[in-house]
Structure 1
Amino acid sequence: MDKFKTIALFMSTIETGSFSATAKKHATDPSTVSKAIKRLEDQLGLQLLYRSTRQLSLTSAGQKYADTVGSLYQQLESCEHELKSANNSYSGALKINLPVSYGRVYMLPMLSQFKKAYPDIQLDVSFNDQYVDMISNAVDVSIRSGTLNDSRLVAQKLSPMTFVICASSDLVTTQKIDVTNEGLVVFPWVLFRFKQTGKTMPINFNYQGRHINVEPKMVTIVDDGEAMVKMCAEGLGLCLMPHFNAKALVVAGKMKVVAKLDEFPNSGVFIVYPKRKDLPKRTQVFIEFVKGYLNEIGESSSKTWLDTSVNPR
C-alpha cells in the first residue's frame, strides 16, 4: 500500500474514531486498516495510536504527526479534486495545432461554432505546416495529413487525403485536357513550394492505375496554398492540390476538377492527440465536434466532398 493511501486511512481513523468506520468509508475491512497503520508506525518507529477495546486515541507523537501530515493531506486532496474537476469539465485551456491551408479552409469556420458552444474552453490555436512535437510542446490536439508514425500519439482518421488536378472553368471549357504525360506537359502549371524545404510539389501520381510523372515547362511557383488555388482559378495553369484546397472555388463554379487521383497508400487527414489514460473532457468534446462538423460538410473517414458533389474524370 502506498504512503498516501496509508496516510488517508490514518487521517480517516482519527476522524471516525474506529478501524471499522474507516474501513467502511474506504471500502475495505478493519484488519486492512489496522495493519496499514501498524506498518506506518513501524516505518516511523513511533506509536501513533493508543488502542483499547473501547476507543482509539492519539499519542503525543501521533498528534504531532496528524497536525503536520493532516495539512499536507488536505492540500493534496484539494489539489486532486481541482485537477479532476478541470479534467472532467468543459473548461480550461485547449492547445491546438493546425496545418495552414486545411486549418484556414475547414477549421476556422468550425472553431467559431465550437467557441460559441463551449465558451469556457480557452482556445490556443497555431497554424503551422512544419512538424511539431506535440509532447514537448504540450499540444493537446493536432490535425495532420499524410502518414503518421508515432507510438506516443493516438490518431483518428477524419477523411481520405484525396488529391485532384484542377483548372480554371474557362480553360476546361476552351481546351481538351488529356490526363496523360503528353497531354499534361503542354499546359502551364501552378506549383506549390514547401517553405520548410524550398522544393516544389512534384507532378507525380497514379491515375486510374496508370503512373504519371510530368515535368512542366511553363510554371508559376507559390508557397501559399490559398494563393495557389486562386491563381489556378484565374487561369494561370493547371494545379495539383488536396481536396480541401479545391472545394470552395469548385463549388463556386470558378474552377473545375480535371482528374481525381488514385489514393496514396496509408494516407489521410487525421486528428491526433497524445496517448493518455484519462483524456480531458474538453479534448474529447473538441474531437467529436470536429468529426460532427466534417460530417455535416460531407466528409468522413471513408469519403470527401468529392464523392458526392462532383463527378471528376
Structure 2
Amino acid sequence: MDKLRSLEMFLATCDSGSFAAAARLCKTDPSTISKAIARLESQLQLTLFQRSTRQLRITQAGQRYAETVRKAMLDINHCEGELKQLNDFPSGQLKISAAVCYGHLYLRPMLKAFCQQYPDIQISLDINDLHVDIIEQEIDVALRTGYVKDSRLVARRLSPMDFMICASPSYLQQHGTPSCAAEFEHHQWIGFRIKETQQLQPVFLPDANGDYQYVELKRDHVTDDGESMANMCIDGFGFAQLPHFLAKNGLESGELVSLFPSFRPPEHENGVFAIYPKREYLPSKVRVFIDFLTNWLAQQKETTHHTWAENYQSLVSFPKE
C-alpha cells in the first residue's frame, strides 16, 4: 500500500473516531485500516492512537502528525487542481525552437493569430539551424526539416518537403530557359551549404523519363542561409533548387519561376516535423499549438502527405530529349 493511501486512512480515522467508520469512508474494511495505522506507527516509532475495547483515542503525537498531514494533503489537492486547470486552459510560457527559414517564412506569420486565440500563452522563440538538445534545453516543441532519429522524442510530420528548380525571369531572359537536364550544366547555380556538416546540399534534376537523379553541378555561388539563397536567385545569380517554403513568396510575387515538377526525396527522410519530448500526457499548450499550426498549414494547402508544390504549374512541365 502506498504512503499517500495510508495517510488518507489515518486522517479518516482521526475524523471518524473508529476503524470501522474510517473503513466506510475509505471504502475498505476495518482490518485494512488497522494495518495501515500500525504500519505508520512502525515507520514513525510512535503511537498515534491509544486503543481499547471500547474506544480509540488519538495521542498528542497523533494530533500533531494529523495537523501536518492534513496541511500536506490540502497542498497536494490544491496543486493538483491548479495543474488540471492549467492543462484545461492552455497558459504559461511555450518554448519553441525553429529552423531559420521555416521559422521566418511559416512560423512567424501565424504567431500573432495564435497568441490572439490563446492570450494566456507567452512565446519564447529560438530561431536556429544548429542541433539543439530539446530535452536538455527544456524546449516544448521544435520545428525541423529532415528525418529525426531520437527515441526520446516524438516527431509529428507537418508536411513533406518538395524541392523546386527556380530562377528569376530576368536570368532566363538573359541566359535562356533549359529544356532538359543536360542544358543546366551551362548555367550558373547557387548552392546551399549545410551548417552542421559544411557539405553542399545535393541537386536532383529530371532525366528524359521525368525521374529525378542526383547530378554533380558546379556551384558558382554558395550560401549557408536559405533566405539568402532564395534572394540571390531572385536577384538573378542563377538557378537554385529551393524547398517549397523558400520558393513560395518568390513564385507568388512573380520574382521567381519554377522549371519542371517539384522533386520529393524518399518519404522516410523527408518532411517538416514538429518535435517534442516523449511523454504520456502532452501539455495542452503544446497540443493547441500543434493543432493550430496544422490547421494553418492546411489553409496553405499543406498536409501530412501533400504540399501546394505538387500542383504548381511549372514553366517547363516535363523533360525533353
8 Å CA contact retained: 2:94, 2:124: yes
Q: Which runs of 5+ in 2 are unaligned?
A: none
Tell me what 1:223 maps to. 224
1:69 aligns with 2:69: yes
Change (3 A) 1:228 1:46: same
1:300 aligns with 2:303: yes
- 1:190-201, aligned counterparts within 5 Å? 190-201=190-201
8 Å CA contact retained: 1:298, 1:308: no
Superposed CA deviations along residues 189-220 of structure 1, whole A, max 9, x for unmatched, are 11222333443323256763342313226x12
Q: For residue 171 of structure 1, report the CA deviation from its aligned partner.
A: 3.7
1:281 aligns with 2:306: no
8 Å CA contact retained: 2:99, 2:144: yes
- 1:94-243, aligned counterparts within 5 Å? 94-172=94-172, 175-180=176-181, 182-204=182-204, 208-216=210-218, 219-243=220-244
Change (3 A) 1:274 1:27: farther
8 Å CA contact retained: 1:209, 1:262: no
Q: Distance in 2 between matches of 1:48 and 1:13?
A: 11
Q: In structure 2, what residue type is equivalent to 1:176?
A: T
Identity %: 41
Q: Distance in 2 between matches of 1:13 and 1:131?
A: 56
Q: Distance in 1 between matches of 2:150 and 2:25?
A: 43
Change (3 A) 1:48 1:261: same
8 Å CA contact retained: 2:161, 2:264: no
Tell me what 1:250 maps to. 251
Change (3 A) 1:22 1:268: farther
8 Å CA contact retained: 2:154, 2:276: yes
Q: Distance in 2 between matches of 1:193 and 1:99?
A: 15
8 Å CA contact retained: 1:191, 1:228: yes
8 Å CA contact retained: 1:186, 1:216: no
1:8 aligns with 2:8: yes
TM-score by length of 1: 0.89
Q: In structure 1, what residue type is equivalent to 2:215?
A: N
Change (3 A) 1:20 1:96: farther
Structure 1, 93-102 or 208-217: larger mean CA deviation: 208-217
Superposed CA deviations along residues 136-187 of structure 1, whole A, max 9, x for unmatched, are 110001111111111111111110111121111234466231342x221111
Q: In structure 2, what residue type is equivalent to 1:261?
A: F
Structure 1, 83-92 or 101-110: larger mean CA deviation: 83-92
8 Å CA contact retained: 1:157, 1:269: yes
Change (3 A) 1:224 1:26: farther
Change (3 A) 1:233 1:19: farther
Tell me what 1:290 maps to. 293
Q: Distance in 2 between matches of 1:171 and 1:21?
A: 89
8 Å CA contact retained: 1:185, 1:214: no
1:166 aligned counterpart, secondary structure: strand
Q: In structure 1, what residue type is equivalent to 2:242?
A: M
8 Å CA contact retained: 1:160, 1:269: yes
- 1:57-96, aligned counterparts within 5 Å? 57-96=57-96
8 Å CA contact retained: 2:162, 2:243: yes
8 Å CA contact retained: 2:171, 2:237: no
Tell me what 1:261 maps to. 263
